[in-house]
Amino acid sequence: MADPGNISIQDYTYSLPEDRIAKYPLAERDASKLLVYKEGKIKTDIYRNISKYLPEDTVLVFNNTKVIEARLLFQKETGGIIEIFCLEPHEQYPDITTAMLQKEKVLWHCLVGGASKWKTGQVLEKKIRSGKNEISLQARYIEKRADSFIIELSWMPDHLSFAEVLHYAGAIPLPPYIKRNAEESDTERYQTFYAKHDGSVAAPTAGLHFTNFIFETLHKKNIHTDFVTLHVGAGTFKPVKSETMREHTMHAEWIDVSKTTIENILNNLEEAIVAVGTTSLRTIESLYWLGVKQSGFRDLETAEYTNKLLELSQWEVYAPLKENISARDALQSLLKWMDENKLERLIAKTQILIAPGYEFKIIKGLVTNFHQPQSTLLLLVAALIGDEWKKVYDYALQNNFRFLSYGDGCLLWSKNS
């Protein structure tokens, strides 16, 4: 497998006018435009008709993470505003779900707006009314880390979970390129209709276009749906500032996949496995490499390799294998390990970087939105369809497609499918 470390992000750019960035979603989710790319040919339709472009027995895999109200605003006694953006739980918690279910208090990695005006140990407080109940939320500055602050959040009444507290006290964190404040409508629209597990600070936006009606049309055509969970971190918007990808640190994210979903993917490897969203794609491809690690067929004499079985670093997928491992063997190895450890769910951390040079092991197609220039998400698209990404994006720009999170999207078939 080719090493993408020498890729220059400057080669993956295009001109995106400000007026092409969708500030609001369309009134109907499934009325968004759909670009379909396969074998060099492009068609245009709307999401409502996506089943027409998927063969029978396709398995569509969705990310059912739920966006949390991660933005908290506190007013100091002097009147100044401190904004706390909850990034991810402190490392003392084994996973995001455990942290979200904490009661009374929790430690969190946060970004802090106005941090220079907040002294270590100083306590901020806000009160929120919800019906007849009043919630008191306090934030205590614990320490500063390289890329974040450690904040202790505590609350009364203490029988509420942190997820419930955020729901009452926080705001939906729209992406930075949607240059407006979140509105009440965003609470529903910046969330997939099948969202289930609290933990993301950004929506898996490819899924925003899907509706119950689309699911009905998929099932009528014998197209199967399944779900994984990857909690999207703010790192998904992290710009690539290094000259080459070698110096860029990919963000790590938690994945949670049931044993039955892994079995479903294994049993349908001969069919088209299509990821809905880059997060679903990264999760599914990570399953292959986690299976390889369980099987012991990884060459350990490689740099930037983590020997932790349930963590995947960004470069280890490009290190040589002792022998070629099929997707079937890798997934069977993973399932065997889960059986031995009596696990019904696989919870792991992935930092996988998918860029040109990556060889896809499971995925044949991708449903996704149009991504920012010079982003790791655009690199992933280029890995899937090669230099044709330029043709696809040029077409979308010339035909008035709406870009980024609230925009239109595409169905892309792998150049090797």
Q: What is the pLDDT of residues 270-287, one digit of tens each?
A: 999 999 999 999 999 999
Give the pLDDT confidence score for residue 116 in this predicted structure: 83
What's the mean pLDDT in 322-327? 88
Give the pLDDT confidence score for residue 9 in this predicted structure: 92
Give CA–CA dist 35/365, Å, rounded.
Answer: 13
Q: Are residues 249 and 278 in the same domain?
A: yes
Structure tokens at 406: 């609230």
Confidence of residue 306 (pLDDT cuts 50, 70, 90): low
The DSSP element (H or E) to which 267 belongs, if any, is helix 259-267
Q: Are residues 274 and 395 in the same domain?
A: yes
Q: Are residues 341 and 221 in the same domain?
A: yes
Is the pLDDT at 132 greater than 90? The verdict is no
Give CA–CA dist 389/384, Å, rounded.
Answer: 9
CATH number, position 137: 2.40.10.240
Q: Percentage of the chain with pLDDT > 70?
A: 96
Structure tokens at 129: 């009314």
Distances (CA, A) of 214 to 29, 134, 413: 10, 41, 20
CATH number, position 223: 3.40.1780.10
Give per-residue pLDDT as tens, 189-198.
999 999 999 9
Q: Are residues 268 and 407 in the same domain?
A: yes
Integer-rounded Cα Rg, in Å, for the chain is 22
Q: Are residues 76 and 60 in the same domain?
A: no
Domain-embedded: residue 183:
no
The residue behind tokens 């963590």 is 311
Q: Are residues 77 and 225 in the same domain?
A: no
Give the pLDDT confidence score for residue 302 in this predicted structure: 47
Domain-embedded: residue 181:
no
Q: What pTM, to 2 d.p., does this model score?
A: 0.93
Give CA–CA dist 279/203, Å, rounded.
Answer: 10
Q: Are residues 39 and 86 in the same domain?
A: no
Domain count, the chain: 2
Q: Percentage of the chain with pLDDT > 90?
A: 78
Domain-embedded: residue 148:
yes
Give the pLDDT confidence score for residue 122 in this predicted structure: 80
Distances (CA, A) of 22 to 32, 391, 403: 11, 21, 6
Domain of residue 109: give its range. 70-170
Is the pLDDT at 188 greater than 70? The verdict is yes
Give per-residue pLDDT as tens, 60-111.
999 999 999 999 999 887 778 899 999 999 999 988 999 999 999 999 999 9
Which of 136, 170, 204 marks a domain boundary? Answer: 170
Q: Are residues 258 and 395 in the same domain?
A: yes
Long-range contacts from 95-102, C-beta under 8 angstroms, 24+ separation = 95/254, 95/256, 95/347, 96/198, 96/199, 96/231, 96/254, 97/197, 97/198, 97/199, 97/256, 99/162, 100/68, 100/161, 100/162, 100/163, 100/198, 100/199, 101/161, 101/162, 101/163, 102/161, 102/162
Give CA–CA dist 357/254, Å, rounded.
Answer: 24
Q: Are residues 74 and 62 in the same domain?
A: no
Give the pLDDT confidence score for residue 167 in this predicted structure: 92
Q: Are residues 89 and 147 in the same domain?
A: yes
